[in-house]
């Protein structure tokens, strides 16, 4: 009995090769898609980071511009207030000369002479005193206050020492005589008070802000 020749089995190999090729192609496509996704994701992240940095920069510039505008507004408001408060400083100094003349005129008449004055002299003295009081009120209306330092501790910010007076009965550094009244306008010194300061007495005690508040209370 003759042997039957077996035909080569090529059909199975072809099918397997086809499957492998399909798998490889699908794998390649998947890898390509994954790579594309990664590239797109990387581009998106980079763009997002760029936009966030731009937003932060714009926000910083806006805040700086807003702060600068606010500072300009506050400076303008302060300049307006200062102009209203201190704009009359030069005029006020000239008016103080009139106040000084009135004070000197009244200072030439002692209390006894005022008490015994009658008729026109008495009317003149009362008119001068009334004028002085009216002038002081007019100055106060415009923020100009008179400094009355007699009996107070010498303050170089408000007073100008003209001489020293030996007086052991009061603490050293106490204002015991006022040669010329001083004035302040708002928070500034318009003219310091010219004063005589005591020396030879006990050292003046420093008064704290709390002590002043307690005394005022």
**Domain ranges, ordered by start, for the chain:** 22-86, 88-142, 144-204
What is the predicted pLDDT for the residue at 37?
Answer: 63
What is the predicted pLDDT for the residue at 209?
Answer: 41
Please give the model's pTM, rounded to 2 decimal places.
0.57
Closest by CA position to 174, among listed 205, 215, 146: 205
Is residue 167 within 8 A of residue 198, CB to CB? The reply is yes
Provide block-wise average pLDDT over 10 residues at a time, the chain (217 residues).
Answer: 48 58 67 68 74 88 92 89 82 87 82 76 84 88 89 92 90 91 90 91 57 41
- 71 backbone dihedrals φ, ψ, rounded to 5°: -65, -40
Phi-psi region of 151 (alpha: psi -120 to 50; beta: other; left: phi over 0): left
C-alpha dist (Å) from residue 135 to 21, 94, 125, 132, 145: 112, 13, 15, 5, 11
What is the predicted pLDDT for the residue at 7?
Answer: 47
What is the predicted pLDDT for the residue at 214?
Answer: 41
Distance of CA 120 to the CA centre of its chain: 56
* CATH-assigned architecture of domain 144-204: Roll (2.30)
């Amino acid at each position: 009995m003759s042997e039957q020749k077996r035909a080569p089995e090529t059909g199975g190999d072809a099918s397997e090769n086809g499957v492998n090729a399909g798998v490889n192609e699908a794998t390649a496509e998947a890898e390509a898609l994954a790579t594309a996704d990664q590239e797109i994701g990387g581009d998106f992240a980079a763009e997002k980071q760029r936009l966030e940095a731009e937003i932060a920069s714009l926000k910083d510039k806006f805040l700086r511009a807003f702060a600068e505008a606010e500072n300009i507004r506050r400076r303008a408001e302060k300049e307006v207030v200062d102009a209203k408060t201190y704009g009359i400083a030069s005029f006020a100094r000239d008016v103080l000369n009139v106040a000084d003349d009135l004070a000197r005129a009244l200072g030439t008449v002692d209390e006894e002479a005022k008490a015994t004055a009658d008729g026109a002299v008495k009317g003149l003295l009362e008119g001068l005193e009334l004028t002085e009081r009216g002038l002081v009120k007019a100055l106060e209306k415009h923020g100009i206050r008179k400094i009355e330092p007699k009996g107070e501790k010498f303050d170089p910010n408000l007073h100008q020492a003209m001489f020293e007076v030996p007086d052991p009965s009061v603490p050293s550094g106490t204002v015991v005589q006022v040669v010329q009244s001083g004035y302040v306008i708002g928070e500034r010194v318009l003219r310091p008070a010219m004063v005589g300061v005591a020396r030879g007495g006990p050292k003046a005690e420093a008064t704290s802000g709390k002590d002043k508040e307690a005394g005022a209370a």
